[in-house]
Amino acid sequence: MDMESGNTIYWAPFQNGSWTMHIAATEKGLCYVNSPFGPFSMMADWLQKHYPGCTLVRDDDRMQRYSDELTQYLQGASKHFELPLDLHGTPFQRSVWTALLDIPHGATCSYSDIAESIGKGNAVRAVGAAIGANPALMVVPCHRVIGKNGALTGYRGGMEVKAELLRLEGIQL
């Protein structure tokens, strides 16, 4: 995960079935995947907060490689992403996001599992907050984190989307 970027953020809408999302990338990699049905303003506000002074430029051609990988994943043709990431967050958030990337396709873990994996076993709530701040839904698979009791828990994209992503990966709810 490269954490630096330039001043231009490229974006494009992304459609898969009934899901409409917005995706964004710097020169270095994908930096944002909006929740399905999330308005453009949600992405624009997030980008201005985390990339102050950035210029948003719609570039469907530049974003096609990211759209293609998301499509392959959502259609079940791919189980992991190869695209580069450029995610901005605190060192703690980045450590949580890196741990999320280690959860295999078709598997789940709990918030406490993630906390333990980063050496912060007592920071379960902070881990939850970092997971909630994940800017790249699906690509950084926060949907694979469930409650310790096996229950579905919050998801920025909505619980129906989380359940659908888990079903896509063959996880029985």
Question: Any idea which residues carry the catalytic annotation?
Answer: 142
Distance between CA atoms of residues 27 and 73, nearest Å: 23
Residue 78 CB: number of other CB atoms within 10 A? 15
| Sheet strands side by side (includes 8-16) | 30-33, 19-25, 8-16, 55-58
Q: Which helix (H) or strand (E) holds 126?
A: helix 124-132
Q: Convert 115-131 to b/e letters by CB count within 10 Å (16 or more is b).
A: bbbeebeebbeebbebb
Distance between CA atoms of residues 69 and 56, nearest Å: 22
